[in-house]
Structure formats: C-alpha cells, structure tokens
Structure 1
C-alpha cells in the first residue's frame, strides 16, 4: 500500500528551462541557486530580492536520495531519535542552499568548488547521520536497510542533461479519490522561461511555468464511483475557522517530534490550539480548540500561502520564513471547509484516537509525483479542472481553491507508521479498501483564497502566489500537502462514523 497509483495525465504543465543551478542535499531535495550572478547582484538578492534577475547562468543539478522515504520499518522505540536525525538531514539542505547562494564568486573562479567545497563535505556529514540512524535502529533490535550507506552520495548532472522545469502532467480525479498524476520519464528539455534564477521573490520559485490560465486548462475531473446499496452516504462538517488568530509555527510534530523548525516552512493551524514540535498524546487533550464543536480537538494544519508582490511578513528574518526562502505576505483563507464523507462501497469504522495522516508529499521536486495529492482550482471550475503541477490563474470574480482528500483506508492497528504513510491508504478506483484495510470517514478539506491574479510578462511572473515549502523544493504546486491528527472527546469519533453510516448530514 501507501503509494498513490499513477493516473492518466492531462498535459497542463508548460515546458521550462530555468538558467539556474540546482543542488539536492539533506534528506533529499533539489536546491536551486545561480552559479553566475550579475555583477550588480548582491548576496542578499538571492534570498530577498523582489524580482527575478536575468543572468547568464550555467544550470547543474545534484541529486540526493530522500532518506525518510526509505525507512519503512523503524521500531517504535527508535522513531523519535531517527526522526531527529532525518531533521538533521533537512537542516543540511538549508545550510547548503545558503552556502551555494553566497559563494557565487568562488564558483566562477573554481569549477570544482561545488564538488570539493559543498558536495564532498556534505557526503561525509550525511554518512555520519546515516551511521547514527543505523545505530538507533539496531540498538533496539531492529534491522536497518542494507543499502542505507548508498544514500550518502550526491551526484551531479551537467546543464545540457538536466530539466530545470517541473514534471509534466495535470491532475486527474478518479473515482472520487484525488491523486497525483504521473511523471514523464526523463523530464522536459528546452522551451519555456529563459534566463534568470529560479524565480520568485526569494530566488527559489515559483516561475512563470508554474502558473496556467484555468480557462485554457483541459477538463480532467472524472465521475465519482457509483455507490453500492450499503454505501455510507452521510457527511459530517466541523467548523473550525480560517486561522484569523494567526496560530502559526514552522514545526511538524508528526514528522519531526521534538525538533524546532522541523518543517522549515510555516503552517496554518485550526482545531487544536496547542500543537507544536513538543506536543504529544499526553498533552493533545489540553490544547483547546478553535472548532465550534469543542469535542473536536483534532489538529488540522497546512502550509501557508503567500503572495509574492514585494511585501514581507512577520517572519521575514526567521527560520522557516524569509531565512529559508519563504517570503511574501501570508494570506488567510476566506473560507475553510472541513468535512468527513463516507465510502461508496460500504460502512466505515471510527477513526482511532491520535490517528495521524499526512496527505500529499512536501518533496515532490525530489521524489516525483508518486505521492502527490495537491489540488488547485478556481471557484466555478472545481468540477472541471483540478491541477497538481500548476497554480491556477483565475478569471475575474473567481477565487483560488486548494482542496485535499485524505487517505480513507486504515490498517486497523496503527495510528502512525515509520514513513507516516503505510498505516493508511487510498481506496481503489471503485472506492474499496484493499489488503485488509478498513474504511474510515474520509477527511476532505477545501480552502478558498481571494488572490489577485498573477500576470506573465516576457516569460516572468509578477505578483505570484505560492505555497510555503522546504527551501529546495522551489515552491512547486505539487509540493502542497496537509496534516491531520484525530483528537476527540465525548465519543465524537463514533458520532462522526455513525452519522456517515446512517446517511445523515451532520455538523
């Protein structure tokens, strides 16, 4: 289980070659920065400039494996320590990104600088961390993957062999279960945006090719599966607000418990009001809730969306914010709908207390689209077009919509798993759970934003908007993701399941 099944693609992505240098470091990722900056460009421009600058840049891509994706069988009593080490790998990404962006002169003078000054020391640091991960797993009786040492090395790709654009493919909605599209083998070559760095207000995205006029996008939403006679047809809506109280942090208690700034990007939080890196099952029930139903202490959190119009926000100089390429004014949704729906093939069981689910993949620029579950659209177009690899440019009077449909099948035993994926699964194309998994109420979320449409001029995007992300992930739309921890009192989990099973519409 665990991996989304690839779906037929709609050709909505635009080919792009960005004149930038790419470097994949840490837990696994692509890091982009100019090798050759214009003479007038300061180091600060790499992080805080308000526009993309044209340069005669040489493109190079260095790729490192995403270690976390490989660790599918970590003993429970080693997971916290292993998660901490994985966060160390992610931290290396930011450090290497900053080093790459601030050593441009050295790179122009010495063609071996990146290899000798960044990659080789990085490999040694990565190996030290991998050794510690193996030790943490084996000391509690587990078995580390035999090929873990092979994940230390980072390899380079010459400019003429690399694709600086995103993966090809649109978004398809199949059988009511929203998933990511596939990825073209070998990527794209040529075309699209020329010159400049990787774009965006901080120099790490987005670029013009990350946007599409939704009125010109090909319809790609398919019909939902037919409901069986005993389908669970009800819905349960919980009203938790839109985070007008600005409850933010850059932690991720699911992936990096106990690690400050473990997400390297900022989240909106609704529902439980005391979720940070140091929260736990023991403290979740003390958090209070923004939800109208005070029995719903669940945590619903997602990366913020920012508009890159030259403005800044409170975290301009903070870790996870401007220091890591997440810049611009933070946009609060004008609407956030959180709804649980049933299964088209039968009844559902209640979610277990403290169930954790992450939907989507924050590192698709590294990992490809296998686990992508991003959905971008516009009001008035949601039943026609859902995008994974591009942000929509909406027509006058239409608003931007992000939506999520979480995994709706549970293994019946675990509230989490080592890679935070294998304990839950998506239903198949007909809506049924496979491999002994049980249907649970499917969490769906719909976030609506009032965003002035970006414009594309001379191959450059102006007043772009983008989702926060790891700095090396280039703010690609496909990196959008959503996090959830089920925390309820007063038998609310059972009430949700019963409502859905009875075919009622509850709130």
Structure 2
C-alpha cells in the first residue's frame, strides 16, 4: 500500500474512532450509571434500625430550678400540618429576596404568604394556618420517597437531585417551652431563627448538627441517621431551636450569633437571655423499609445529618406576652 493510501486509512480510522468515542460518552452521560445520590436516594449507611440506637441519657437540670427561677410551662400552637400545600424553593431567613435560593423544597405551616420576597409588613398582614392567629412562619426541607416519581409542580421544581414523591406530614407539633433555670423574656418582633446544618456532610464538623430522627414508639431514642421503624410506627423529626437571645438583634450575619443554644443544664451563655424555646416535631407515615430522603444541596447527597428548619416570629406583642406568661407561670397552654 502506498503512502497516500496509508494516510487515507489513518484518517478514516481517526474519524471513526472519534465518532465512536463521542457516541459512547454521550450515551454514558445520558443514561450511564447513576449513583444513589444522583437518583435522589441516600446511601445504605444513612439508615439505622431504631432498636440499635441506645436511649438518650437523662440530663439533670441545674440547681436554680428548685428555687422557682425556672419557667417550666409549655405552649402548643395549633398550625395544622400544611394541608394548604404551602411549598417553595425559597429561604426567607438565609436568602431573602432570592427566588429559588434554597435549591431545595421547603414545607411550611403558619404564615401562608411566606416566600423569598416576604417582608415584615407582608407577614404581619397575611393569612395563617394557625388556629390562634399566629402569623409566624415555620418551615423545613421536605421528606421524599425517592422510589416514587414526583408528578406535582412542587415535586418537580426543585431540581439539584431533589426528586421523588413528597411525603406529607402526618402531624406537625409546634411547641414553645421555657427554660429550666430562668424565666424567659419575649422574643423581639420578626426574630429570625435557624436550627441545624444544611451543609453538615461537607462542613467538616458537628458544631451545628441538630438532626434528631426517631420512631414514634421509641421517643427516648434519637439518631442523626434515617430510622428504620417497626410496623405501625411513624418516622419522626424533632427540630429544637436556640433559645438564648443577645437582647439586641432580630437577625445576624450567618444567622447564628444573635441566638445561641443554652448549655446542657439550661444555662444561657454570658450576655444572652432565655426566650421561649421552639420545638418542631414532625411525623410521617411510611411503610417499614421504605427509602426516604430529605431535600438537600447536591453535594450533601440527602444526608439525614443536614436536617434543619427556620422560623420568623410574626406574633403580635399580646400573643408573645401570652406565651411568656404561660411558660413563666408553669402552665400547659394551647392556642
């Protein structure tokens, strides 16, 4: 074969080889292997049988509580369980003014207007799902069944690997508690609060991890992993907010320095004051062994450790005063 023929054959081989490579790469990108995280499913190591989780140790309150200095009451705020279907991909606390700033879907109770564009005046004028008229907004990332396709608009709008059918909350408990060693003071109007670490998988530390997963039949056990619950029990999430306020700010850069957590015995850090402690308790009806995944940023891969929630206080001053009085007087109240 002459040099001309050899050169022509080489060119043909390169063209055919390049086309084949491109075709293979294209097929791989379009329908190639999908990791569990890419398909919306957490890793197998993210699950644990709740019966293998040891009970949480009891924490003894600090001594001042027996002198009557504590605020042992509780206030339940009946806000329903998002029967209105209030969902969006916004985060009013972390990314105000940015549509889709959360990059995942949140579920809400309370203020029915809450979204990225909300302002104090719009929150104060909006309708609410809370029976007693509390216009505060309470929200958290949705829980999904990644093995079932999502078809409704709020199930397909988040993107970023957050796919699947949203599991509705079977119950939502909004509760304010007092402090074991001190009287509480009123939260300021439009206080912004956050609990948990949405970047816990990649943050390199556990300082802000507050995830507490469990099962309805084992309230004394909690874990930072997705629980496998026995037949007939509900999967639970408990989200406890910081309750030691600096007395100055309704918000702060990073959303954490104006509102801190008390110590294990309830004592607030220096230069902070106890305010009502918010607890959100969520429950879901899931069959045993069903996969679950909370919405997350893509690099967090739906880690259960990233569980988090946000709150904006839009109670009126009389409503907040009623919460404070209930807690400080040691009563059990409901509104």
Please report the TM-score for the alignment, with normalisation by the length of structure 2. 0.87
Say if 2:81 and 2:109, in contact at 8 Å, map to a contact too: yes
Residue of 4, 22, 29 corresponding to 1:43? 29
Say if 1:198 and 1:474, in contact at 8 Å, map to a contact too: no
Say if 2:135 and 2:315, in contact at 8 Å, map to a contact too: yes
2:86: which partner in 1?
A: 247
Say if 1:312 and 1:329, in contact at 8 Å, map to a contact too: yes
The alpha-carbon distance between structure 1 residues 244 and 381, as it changes in their structure 2 partners (threshold 3 A), is same
Using the TM superposition, give the Cα deviation of residue 203 of structure 1 relative to its aligned residue in structure 2, in angstroms: 3.0
1:347: which partner in 2?
A: 183
The alpha-carbon distance between structure 1 residues 409 and 45, as it changes in their structure 2 partners (threshold 3 A), is farther
Query: How far apart, CA to CA, are the structure 2 residues paired with 1:219 and 1:490?
Result: 39
**Greater relative contact order structure (CA < 8 Å, 6+ sep):** 2
Larger Rg: 2
Q: Does 1:214 align with 2:41?
A: no
Look up the SS of the partner of 2:128 in the other structure. coil
2:321: which partner in 1?
A: 494
Superposed CA deviations along residues 330-389 of structure 1, whole A, max 9, x for unmatched, are 011111111100000010001110001000010111213210111000012121x2111x
Q: Does 1:298 align with 2:136?
A: yes
Please report the TM-score for the alignment, with normalisation by the length of structure 1. 0.58
1:14: which partner in 2?
A: none
Say if 1:261 and 1:319, in contact at 8 Å, map to a contact too: no
Query: How far apart, CA to CA, are the structure 2 residues paired with 1:203 and 1:326?
Result: 8
Query: How far apart, CA to CA, are the structure 2 residues paired with 1:413 and 1:405?
Result: 22
Residue of 191, 196, 208 corresponding to 1:360? 196
Matches within 5 A, 1:462-501: 463-489=290-316, 491-501=318-328
Say if 2:109 and 2:137, in contact at 8 Å, map to a contact too: yes
Say if 2:81 and 2:169, in contact at 8 Å, map to a contact too: yes
The alpha-carbon distance between structure 1 residues 332 and 212, as it changes in their structure 2 partners (threshold 3 A), is same
Look up the SS of the partner of 1:446 in the other structure. strand
**After the TM superposition, which of the residue ranges 281-290 and 406-415 deviates more from structure 2?**
281-290
Look up the SS of the partner of 1:497 in the other structure. helix
Matches within 5 A, 1:151-162: none
The alpha-carbon distance between structure 1 residues 260 and 406, as it changes in their structure 2 partners (threshold 3 A), is same
Say if 1:204 and 1:472, in contact at 8 Å, map to a contact too: no
- Residues paired across the two proteins, number: 307
Query: How far apart, CA to CA, are the structure 1 residues paired with 2:138 and 2:31?
Result: 35
Q: Does 1:313 align with 2:151?
A: yes
Using the TM superposition, give the Cα deviation of residue 317 of structure 1 relative to its aligned residue in structure 2, in angstroms: 8.2
Using the TM superposition, give the Cα deviation of residue 306 of structure 1 relative to its aligned residue in structure 2, in angstroms: 0.4
2:113: which partner in 1?
A: 274
Query: How far apart, CA to CA, are the structure 2 residues paired with 1:414 and 1:353?
Result: 10
Superposed CA deviations along residues 38-77 of structure 1, whole A, max 9, x for unmatched, are 989653557xxxxxx5xxxxxxxxxxxxxxxxxxxxxxxx
Say if 1:341 and 1:500, in contact at 8 Å, map to a contact too: yes
Using the TM superposition, give the Cα deviation of residue 216 of structure 1 relative to its aligned residue in structure 2, in angstroms: 1.9
The alpha-carbon distance between structure 1 residues 219 and 362, as it changes in their structure 2 partners (threshold 3 A), is same
Residue of 204, 210, 217 corresponding to 1:373? 210
Using the TM superposition, give the Cα deviation of residue 218 of structure 1 relative to its aligned residue in structure 2, in angstroms: 2.6
Flag structure 2 segments of 5+ consecutive residues without an equivalent: 1-23
Say if 2:39 and 2:163, in contact at 8 Å, map to a contact too: no
Say if 2:209 and 2:306, in contact at 8 Å, map to a contact too: yes
Superposed CA deviations along residues 93-130 of structure 1, whole A, max 9, x for unmatched, are xxxxxxxxxxxxxxxxxxxxxxxxxxxxxxxxxxxxxx
Look up the SS of the partner of 1:215 in the other structure. helix
Say if 1:415 and 1:423, in contact at 8 Å, map to a contact too: yes
Using the TM superposition, give the Cα deviation of residue 245 of structure 1 relative to its aligned residue in structure 2, in angstroms: 1.4
The alpha-carbon distance between structure 1 residues 221 and 398, as it changes in their structure 2 partners (threshold 3 A), is farther
Say if 1:228 and 1:344, in contact at 8 Å, map to a contact too: no
Using the TM superposition, give the Cα deviation of residue 397 of structure 1 relative to its aligned residue in structure 2, in angstroms: 1.4
Residue of 155, 166, 190 corresponding to 1:330? 166
Say if 1:205 and 1:476, in contact at 8 Å, map to a contact too: no
Q: Does 1:256 align with 2:91?
A: no
Flag structure 1 segments of 5+ consecutive residues without an equivalent: 1-37, 47-52, 54-196, 455-462
Query: How far apart, CA to CA, are the structure 2 residues paired with 1:427 and 1:246?
Result: 34
Look up the SS of the partner of 1:223 in the other structure. coil
